[in-house]
Amino acid sequence: MSSYSDLMDFTRETAALSLILDRLGWDMETTMPKGAAGQRSEEIAALEGVIHARRADARVGDWLAGAENDPEADPAQLREIKRSFERATKVPGDLAAEIARSVALAHNVWAEARASEDFAGFAPTLERIFDLRRQEATALTSGDLYDALLNDYEPGATGQSIAAMFDALRGPTVDLIDRIKGADQPKALSGHWDAEKQMEFSAKLAEVFTYDMSHGRIDRAVHPFSSGSGKDVRITTRTDEAAPLDCFYSTVHEVGHAVYEQNVRDDLGLTALGRGVSLGIHESQSRMFENQLGRSRAFCSWLGPQMAEAFGHDLGDADAFYGAVNRVTPGFIRTEADELHYNLHVMLRFDLERALLRGDLAVTDLPEAWNTRFKADFGAEVPSPSKGCLQDVHWSFGLIGYFPTYTLGNVYAGCLHEALRADLPDLDADLAAGQPAPAIDWLKERVHQHGASRLPAQIIRDATGAAPTEAPLLAYLNTKFSGIYNL
């Protein structure tokens, strides 16, 4: 046996154990009895401990050294295993344990502070989390601290390059929104939409978007999510009998994540590369499915009549339905935002968390900084912390460097969509026939199948012939919303 084959055998088991974590997480949100939460947290902690110990196992270091000059060894596998080994070994055990403990406690503190609109009650906890993760970043790198954290979610990306991209995106986005403000607003859907029928319709939509139900399933949960990889990738959606579009586009969004995972090449399964490569590329797929494909004029011209028939509602003409699906409305809450406002929400968080990590912004000054920036970008006063800097769960989980991947996903989707349109001249005809499959085949070929064997920037370059930029996204948004709002 070579070092490399030993390393791959060991990694295969670690990958299998990681898949179990996904299943436990899914179960918690769908089928787990309420009273089992405490026991489940012990199960998850025990399994995470096992996985962490395996990632940091000294033998992994030895095998990596032994495999370095092995011509049989896949450099991408070694790169990814090495990244996870260094991540697991560079951070002192005490610090890792302290982060895990603090984050476990922080969630409740945040939830209570949000419920009682009490930012001061959360501030010391938030300060501690930023401090601990700053220490972690310092252990990981001699370079930029933010990049060390970002690297976990978006390998190869840097805060600086993202900042440049986002700064270029921000002005034109605000301009476009300003122009929309003066225009006629399309009417939202109304009426009652049966929840069970929404679930049936979701299953049909999932199939249309090539979700493989023999390796997946759809359940209802409080928050829509996709979970798992390879041969078992499950999604959830939610229903609101007044808002069917929330259900359907949540479904299509999660199907985008899930199909990416289902389409990873079989030979990468149960290896370090057998998953989507980054949160940004993941989000590019979910957003592409949801927006560039699912909210396109062509697809809406198919979807509207399908919904009208399934639910017995009159949805007006194709323009009315397309408008209802793509209404632009400002709001305080990120998760409820439309395609334009969403990126403004993300950019605000990205700038603030970088400043907090650098120490340029004190945690106690966060609400003021948030509200000032919000006023500048959205033109409205934030009425209370729960509608401002206390709205998101991420920082309480210690997730710093995570937010930008949402908008990075939109930027990537813009790039991929431009290239896809150039390659598939019949795309609109396909979508108007309820057939996104040719577009998804294109994505499978260029993105999905590679799993984590290519880094994000490389995937975009290989698929589009150019490095990712915000320009295609801006062009797409301008064309789309100028059309809808007759600008």
Q: Give catalytic status of residue 254 as yes or no.
A: yes
Q: Which of 6, 29, 43, 127 binds a second copy (CB under 8 A)?
A: 43
Establish if 214 lies at the interface with a second copy (CB under 8 A): yes
Establish if 1 lies at the interface with a second copy (CB under 8 A): no
Q: Interface mask (CB under 8 A) for a second copy, residues 243-282, using x and -?
A: --------------------------xx------------
Interatomic CA distance for residues 13 and 242, integer angstroms: 46
Which of 259/315 has CB closer to a second copy? 259
Q: Which of 80, 136, 154, 254 is catalytic?
A: 254
For residues 45-74, which are near a second copy according to CB under 8 A?
A: 45-47, 49-50
Establish if 86 lies at the interface with a second copy (CB under 8 A): no
Instruction: Work out the widest C-alpha separation in the chain, in whole angstroms.
Output: 70
- What is the size of the binding site for a second copy (CB under 8 A)? 38
Closest distance to a second copy from the beta carbon of 42 (Å): 5
Establish if 196 lies at the interface with a second copy (CB under 8 A): no
Q: Which of 3, 6, 12, 86 binds a second copy (CB under 8 A)?
A: 12
Closest distance to a second copy from the beta carbon of 438 (Å): 24
Q: Which of 87, 107, 215, 421 binds a second copy (CB under 8 A)?
A: 215
Which of 142/214 has CB closer to a second copy? 214
Q: Which of 5, 17, 96, 221 binds a second copy (CB under 8 A)?
A: 17
Interatomic CA distance for residues 421 and 426, integer angstroms: 8
Q: Which of 65, 105, 120, 213 binds a second copy (CB under 8 A)?
A: 213
Closest distance to a second copy from the beta carbon of 218 (Å): 11
- 3 state SS for the chain: CCHHHHHHHHHHHHHHHHHHHHHHHHHHHHCCCHHHHHHHHHHHHHHHHHHHHHHCCHHHHHHHHHHCCCCCCCHHHHHHHHHHHHHHHHCCHHHHHHHHHHHHHHHHHHHHHHHCCCHHHHHHHHHHHHHHHHHHHHHHCCCCHHHHHHHHHCCCCCHHHHHHHHHHHHHHHHHHHHHHHCCCCCCCCCCCCCHHHHHHHHHHHHHHCCCCHHHCCEEECCCCCEEEECCEEEEEECCCCCCHHHHHHHHHHHHHHHHHHHCCCHHHCCCCCCCCCCHHHHHHHHHHHHHHHCCCHHHHHHHHHHHHHHHCCCCCCHHHHHHHHCCCCCCCCHHHCCCCHHHHHHHHHHHHHHHHHHCCCCHHHHHHHHHHHHHHHHCCCCCCHHHCCCCCCHHHHCCCCCCHHHHHHHHHHHHHHHHHHHHCCCHHHHHHCCCCHHHHHHHHHHCHHHCCCCCHHHHHHHHHCCCCCCHHHHHHHHHHHHHHCCC
Q: Interface mask (CB under 8 A) for a second copy, residues 216-235, using x and -?
A: xx------------xxx-x-
Which of 228/367 has CB closer to a second copy? 228
Closest distance to a second copy from the beta carbon of 25 (Å): 12
Q: Which of 98, 117, 194, 212 binds a second copy (CB under 8 A)?
A: 212
Closest distance to a second copy from the beta carbon of 35 (Å): 4
Closest distance to a second copy from the beta carbon of 1 (Å): 15
The answer to the question of whether 257 is labelled as a binding residue is yes
- Residue 37's φ and ψ, nearest 5 degrees, are -60, -45
Which of 154/261 has CB closer to a second copy? 261
- Residue 330's φ and ψ, nearest 5 degrees, are -70, 155
The answer to the question of whether 223 is labelled as a binding residue is no
Q: Which of 3, 6, 20, 461 binds a second copy (CB under 8 A)?
A: 20
Tokens 């998850």 sit on residue:
44
Establish if 23 lies at the interface with a second copy (CB under 8 A): yes
Closest distance to a second copy from the beta carbon of 17 (Å): 5
For residues 425-444, which are near a second copy according to CB under 8 A?
A: none
Supply the residues annotated as catalytic. 254
Chain residues binding a second copy by CB under 8 A are: 12-14, 16-17, 19-20, 23-24, 27, 31-36, 38-40, 42-43, 45-47, 49-50, 212-217, 230-232, 234, 269-270
List binding-site positions for Zn(2+): 253, 257, 283
